[in-house]
Amino acid sequence: MSTPRVPHLGIVWLTLILSTGCTLPATSPAATSPARTTAHPRVLVVDTDMAADDWLAILYVLQRPDVTLAAITVTGAGEAHCTPGIRHALGLMTLAGNARVPVACGRESPLRGEHVFPGGWRDRVDSLLGLTLPDGQEAVSSQTAVELLATTIQASPDKVTVLTLGPLTNVAEALQADPSLVDQIDAIYVMGGAVNVPGNVGASGVGIDNPVAEWNIYVDPYAANGVLQSGIPITLVPLDATNHVPLTRKFYDNLKTNHASPEATFVYDVLTEQRAFIDSGGYSFWDPLAAAIVTDDSLATFRTEPICVVETEGPESGWTKAGPGCPEARVAISADGERFEQVFVETLNSPSP
């Protein structure tokens, strides 16, 4: 479903973006988030475009006893359209034995611009790669994604962590509609961007001349800037880090002999349908790494970077570009791929919390 366009989120965004042509400033380590335990789990909202690697990330989160998933909001501006995106989210939760988490979808267009994921990609995601999930046991929320974000965050007795696994359309619109949410969000973890490595938009073979942008940010750069400018602590998990965790045939073969739970079995089935992509060498654990970092910061190394997003149309649109005058973000610059794979598989195969 689409909603009316909202007013500009602040002329300061554009001013900051136009000033990003200078050299990279010195960086320093950022403080990590406090550790969580099963006795006091982190309250988490996942905002997702329900692409295939999002399914893996959501199942990981659902299996973590140190996380309480409070809501899933789907952005229809990403890979999945609203109806199948909601259906698949409900199915994943039923598969994991957790059918009480509310799900809602947002607008099916960016806050600004006309960038979209390729139609063929969207068709594959909407069809669940030809796989099946159990029917969701709960009705879809009557709220929009923006409304569900606001009510979930406001109702939580603890500050909420937000994990974004797609374009930042829903989160930016929610912050613009209710700026007081800033005070109730502990941190936002963003899977997106390419800071000091090439992007993946131009390399995707779909005819877009853009060597620097990553897809999640490229689709709605205006929204991404809004989130970065919000004042909420941001952890960016860009291609700089996810390039260190390729999804390989070795991992697939190992999972083939180690998928003891319904969740791990579904992940194995998803990867089986994507074997050609795995063998191409172009597949990484994009969203699962971001989800794992939420639960264990030690899986990655970080440095503080001043980041703005280039909004102007052209070959740099959507670039997460470092430069003076930009808000600081904690940027994951590398990751321990071997340990991530171990944590990921162990979590998927663990008993449901």
Q: CA-CA distance, 119 to 116, in Å (whole number)?
A: 8
Q: Which of 173, 192, 176, 194 is nearest to 234 (CA)?
A: 192
User: Can you say how many angstroms the Cα of residue 197 is from the centroid of all Cα atoms in its chain?
Assistant: 19
Q: CA-CA distance, 78 to 215, in Å (whole number)?
A: 9
Q: What is the pLDDT along the chain (353 residues), one digit of tens a residue?
A: 333 333 333 333 333 333 333 333 333 333 344 445 566 899 999 999 999 999 999 999 999 999 999 999 999 999 999 999 999 999 999 999 987 899 999 999 999 999 999 999 999 999 999 999 999 866 678 999 999 999 999 999 999 999 999 999 999 999 999 999 999 999 999 999 999 999 999 999 999 999 999 999 999 999 999 999 999 999 999 999 999 999 999 999 999 999 999 999 999 999 999 999 999 999 999 999 999 999 999 999 999 999 999 999 999 999 999 999 999 999 999 999 999 999 999 999 998 77
Residues 278, 279, 284, 285, CA torsion sign: positive
Give the predicted TM-score (pTM) of the model: 0.89
CB 122 within 8 A of CB 80: yes
Q: Which of 302, 305, 303, 307 is nearest to 318 (CA)?
A: 307
Backbone torsions φ then ψ of 9, nearest 5 degrees = -85, 5
SS3 64: coil
